[in-house]
Structure 1
């Protein structure tokens, strides 16, 4: 098994840095959430069971940000792991009312029986209520993988509805040899989502066009954000 010490050390250093940076007037926030299911690109990451997650983020006025996020996961016998730990950093801002975000995210599974970590670079553009985002795998550390190719393209939109509520709409496409390896089907599939949120509560529907996972699935969640 790969030595996880560098990852743990990096996480501890990031958490310590958050405290030091917060003292100098920069923004440090945290989030916690509980959900009836954890979906990633339309596919459950918790074996259709509940998930609890949380994270810490630092950002400054230049647009630079760095953060970490964790959640319980359950991939069954395919990968013996109990939690996911994400580390990410990037730069975001706005030019003439057009939002942009460029960054990198590392998906880690520290207690996995094998090394199944992978990383992605991402870029997004947003205008008014719509955001377009592209993510591309830069590396995968699963020794059984013969390919390291995965591209994800998504379009997200949000609209105010009713009283202090928000309607979210999502459509995404995953493609690449790694997608075929993970799903056991085609090298491309679509996922769709719609959600209604208010005061931290979210009710959502998720669907993919995969033959093995094409049912409409329902989830409910509650999230809380706060400043540190």
Structure 2
């Protein structure tokens, strides 16, 4: 299916869901997106093909949240399940939680979970993700870590520039460093990314995402 048809299908589904929702549920929201290439920690997950994704989230006023997110992969489907807690003070915001990555292909034992945390100081966010468990049982807690730094700033009304660097390390990881930069406006994003993991060269992608209350 052509990317333009994928976008049209997503927007049609979003419109239908919005118009048929009889009653909004406080704290419940959904998201949908299409991208020309799905990257995770600097590596394409779709063999440089397009991906369509979507998710549902619940966020309470206390700071607790939970949700699920689904995307197609090259020869598989990824479903993420997560829960966490976020909050902020006068100058710092934080987010801690657990995410479980589930893959549909049976018999490959690829599923794994991570504990993650991040702190944000103004435009700068520092993050850490640590392996918590994995389906095959060959690795232990802490056998991989991913540390990252992200900086995002509004460079014009409604236009955000973002910069990223991350490092994946450990026995469970495909070790390497990834860097990226992007420009986003009104749900559209154009980005570039490069990684030394598996010799990933500089690549570009475009995406469009929408969020809406349920």
TM-score, with structure 2 as normaliser: 0.84
Q: Does the aligned pair in 2 maintain the 1:207–1:215 contact within 8 Å?
A: yes
Please list the CA deviations of residues 192-211 of structure 1 after superposition, one character each: whole Å capped at 9, or x if unmatched.
Answer: 0100000000000010123x
Gap regions ≥5 residues in structure 1 = 1-18, 75-80
Residue 204 and residue 29 in structure 1: after superposition, are their counterparts in 2 closer, same or farther (change >3 A)? same
- 2:122 is aligned to 128
Q: What displacement does 1:147 show? A: 6.0
The equivalent position to 1:88 in structure 2, one of 76, 82, 87, is: 82
- Note if 1:157 corresponds to 2:143: no
- Note if 1:192 corresponds to 2:179: yes
Matched residues in 2 for 1:124 and 1:218: separation? 26
1:1-228 aligned at under 5 Å gives the runs: 23=25, 26-74=26-74, 81-142=75-136, 145=138, 149-179=143-173, 183=174, 188-210=175-197, 212-228=198-214
Q: Does the aligned pair in 2 maintain the 1:101–1:125 contact within 8 Å?
A: yes
Deviates more, 1:109-118 or 1:98-107: 109-118
Gap regions ≥5 residues in structure 2 = 1-20
Q: What displacement does 1:113 show? A: 3.6
- 1:10 is aligned to none
- 1:16 is aligned to none
Residue 146 and residue 59 in structure 1: after superposition, are their counterparts in 2 closer, same or farther (change >3 A)? closer
Q: What displacement does 1:166 show? A: 0.3
Q: How many residues align?
A: 192
TM-score, with structure 1 as normaliser: 0.79
Q: Does the aligned pair in 2 maintain the 1:82–1:112 contact within 8 Å?
A: no
Matched residues in 2 for 1:216 and 1:142: separation? 32
- More helix, by proportion: 1
- More strand, by proportion: 2
Which secondary structure state, in structure 2, belongs to the residue aligned with residue 70 of structure 1? strand
Matched residues in 1 for 2:78 and 2:177: separation? 23
